Structure 1
Amino acid sequence: MKRFRDFFLFCSGAHVPMLKRAPSETNKYGGIGATIFFTGLLAAFSGGYALWTVFSSPWGAVVFGLVWGLMIFNLDRYIVSGMKKRNNFWSEFGMALPRLILAVLIAIVISKPLELKVFEKEINQELIVMEQQVFKTQEDKVKDRFQQRINVLNAEITQLNTAIQQQATKLDTLQIIAQQEADGTGGSRKQNLGPIYKAKKADADTAAAMLKRITDQNGALIAQKRQELLSIDSTQKATVGGLNRSSIDGLASRLDALGHLTDRSVPVRWANWFIILLFITIETAPVFVKLISPRGPYDDLLEAHEHAYIIFRKETIEKREREHNKRMMIGQPAVNS
């Protein structure tokens, strides 16, 4: 237990030999050091998981996690060790405010990858939906690229079929008129196959010949355009089949999926905020403990040590100045009166 206590005292950033002269303060600084250590440990897990989601490299994740955790540990240790207790609370708060802001930023950075791990199952389901939306968007863009030509070809085919139908309707009308002239139900109202009937029959025959010619011409054009439609359809399917169908599983995609979940689900949003607040609380706890705790024996010893050093430095400077002035006086030539 003594080794753990000494280690946590080291983590607190306190001067351990001086702190042992104030044993009543060891519990407070041991708790601060433990909080700093476990914050660095969580940062290591967070950084390692973040790198794993990007590169899927176990060794890279372990190395980066250790480096990231040590960096956060050292930064937290520096933040706490740089705070000194004075007798003015507002002066101490002003000095602690930048450290608190930095601690909040660190907490947010640490919490994000761990949030992704906490909501991993929900994020994986959301990623599937996002993949389908991306694939559909890609397919729609491909279809839009060919749709204009498809619409033109379909319009031309419709126009050609309409021309055939119009000519067929005209032929039917002329045939009915000729038949009515032959049986006396129309036209001259005389049942005969005279010149009037022959003229109307000739019009119907001309329309039939025209229908055959239009049908042959338009039919060939329609077949050509339908063949082009089949070619476009094959090209479109080949293009869609060649689209990149790789899964969306990067860090940015997971953050995006978490954002979708928090926007859509109130419980997930609250859980997300509670996790962030938890890490902010853990990260800022050492600073707040140092800020609100009363001045103790360790602070008095530290201030006395710093004061003694300041006096020693001033005395050393003054001594060097006197020696310098003495040498200057000795080296100065005498002045004849």
Structure 2
Amino acid sequence: MQRLRAFFLFCAGAHVPMLKRAPVETNKYAGIGGTIFFTGVLAAISAGYALWTVFNELWATLLFGLLWGLMIFNLDRYIVSSMKKRDNFWLEFRMALPRLVLAILIAVVISKPLELKIFDKEIQAELITMEQQVFKTQEDQVQVRYQARINELKANIALLNTEISRQAARRDTLALLAQQEADGTGGSRIRNLGPIYKAKKADADTAAAQLQAITIRNQQRINEYQQQLQSVDSAMKASIPLRSRLDGLASRLDALGRLTARSTPIRWTNWFIMLLFIAIECAPVFVKLISPRGPYDDLLQEHEHAFEIHRKQKMELRQLAYEKRMEQEKGLPKEGSLAG
């Protein structure tokens, strides 16, 4: 227990020999040190998870997570240990304000990867939707690039089919006129196979021969256009990038942003988690700021005051020694006068 308390006192940046002269302050600084230590542990876990999503390597996760945790721990320890209690609260608050801002920034950085882990299931579902949207956008962009050529080929095929249809309709019309002339239901209204019928039958046969020729000619061109359509379709499919899985840190952050923008409960939960980490990170600074001035602070100020007086005395002694040496040098005769 004593070793654990000594470790937490080290985490708080307290001067242990001086703190032993004010034992009533031990629990306060041990609590501050414990908060700093566990903040560093949370930072290491948070950074480890974030780096796992990036590298997916155990050694990189452990190494960089440990380095990040140690850096946050050392930074928090410096922030708290550099704060000195004075008799002026507003002076202390102005000194603590930059440290509070820094603590808030650290808390936001620490909390974000843990938020990603807490909402992991919801984020995975959102990532699937994002993958589909990205793939659909890429597919649409490729289709736009080839759509003009596809429309041109389809229009040419439609024109050729229209020409065949028109010629077939003309043949059918002429064949119907010849038939009506033969059975007396149209034309001269005389049922016979005379010269009028033969003329109309010849026109129908000519139209049928033209239809056959147009069909053969156009079908060849239609086949060519269809082959070109298949080539364009194959090229378009080859140009569409493969569907890749979104699983990076940036994609997860984007998915979390979409979830918080769409869902009010998730948005409030996200804020509460962030505020919790901000409170944890700022707790040592607030404790140091709002706690009353204690014996340890008096001893620390007394020690600093004694050191400052000692430093000034040494500087004055050095200044006096320098002035005395300069006076002695001025009192010595010059070499030229001695030679004379």
Q: How many Å apart are 1:313 and its aligned residue? A: 1.2
SS in 2 for 1:332: helix
* Equivalent residues, number: 333
Aligned residue runs from structure 1 range 18-167, under 5 A = 18-167=18-167
The residue that corresponds to 2:232 in the other structure is 232
The residue that corresponds to 1:222 in the other structure is 222
The residue that corresponds to 2:336 in the other structure is none
Please identify, of 65-74 and 200-209, the stretch whose mean Cα deviation from structure 2 is larger: 200-209
- 1:62-113 CA-to-partner distances (Å, cap 9, x unmatched) read 1111111111011001111111111111111111111000000000001111
AA of the residue aligned to 1:103: A
Please identify, of 157-166 and 121-130, the stretch whose mean Cα deviation from structure 2 is larger: 121-130
AA of the residue aligned to 2:47: G
The residue that corresponds to 1:246 in the other structure is 244
The residue that corresponds to 2:267 in the other structure is 269
Please identify, of 21-30 and 219-228, the stretch whose mean Cα deviation from structure 2 is larger: 219-228
The residue that corresponds to 1:295 in the other structure is 293
Distance 2:191 2:291 in 1: 125
AA of the residue aligned to 2:195: P
Aligned residue runs from structure 1 range 175-190, under 5 A = 175-190=175-190
1:304 is the counterpart of 2:302 = yes
The residue that corresponds to 2:338 in the other structure is none
Q: How many Å apart are 1:182 and its aligned residue? A: 2.9
Distance 1:54 1:334 in 2: 76
- 1:223-277 CA-to-partner distances (Å, cap 9, x unmatched) read 222233333334444555xx33332211111111111221222221111111100
SS in 1 for 2:267: helix
Describe the shift of the 1:167–1:277 C-alpha distance in structure 2 as closer, same or farther (beyond 3 A).
same
Q: How many Å apart are 1:282 and its aligned residue? A: 0.3
Distance 2:309 2:68 in 1: 40
2:320 to 322, 329, 333: 322
* Gap runs ≥5 in structure 2: 334-340
Distance 1:334 1:180 in 2: 151
Distance 2:44 2:182 in 1: 102
- 1:262-307 CA-to-partner distances (Å, cap 9, x unmatched) read 1222221111111100100000001111111111111111111111
Please identify, of 199-208 and 311-320, the stretch whose mean Cα deviation from structure 2 is larger: 199-208
Distance 1:262 1:83 in 2: 37
Please identify, of 222-231 and 288-297, the stretch whose mean Cα deviation from structure 2 is larger: 222-231
The residue that corresponds to 2:208 in the other structure is 208
Please identify, of 149-158 and 247-256, the stretch whose mean Cα deviation from structure 2 is larger: 149-158
AA of the residue aligned to 1:35: T
SS in 1 for 2:13: coil
Q: TM-score normalised to the size of structure 1?
A: 0.93
SS in 1 for 2:191: coil
Q: How many Å apart are 1:45 and its aligned residue? A: 0.9
CA RMSD of aligned residues (A): 1.8
Describe the shift of the 1:66–1:201 C-alpha distance in structure 2 as closer, same or farther (beyond 3 A).
same
AA of the residue aligned to 1:299: D
Please identify, of 267-276 and 196-205, the stretch whose mean Cα deviation from structure 2 is larger: 196-205
1:168 is the counterpart of 2:163 = no
Q: TM-score normalised to the size of structure 2?
A: 0.92
Identity %: 69
- 1:184-209 CA-to-partner distances (Å, cap 9, x unmatched) read 33223333444333332332222122
Deviation beyond 6 Å, 4+ runs, structure 1: none
AA of the residue aligned to 1:77: R
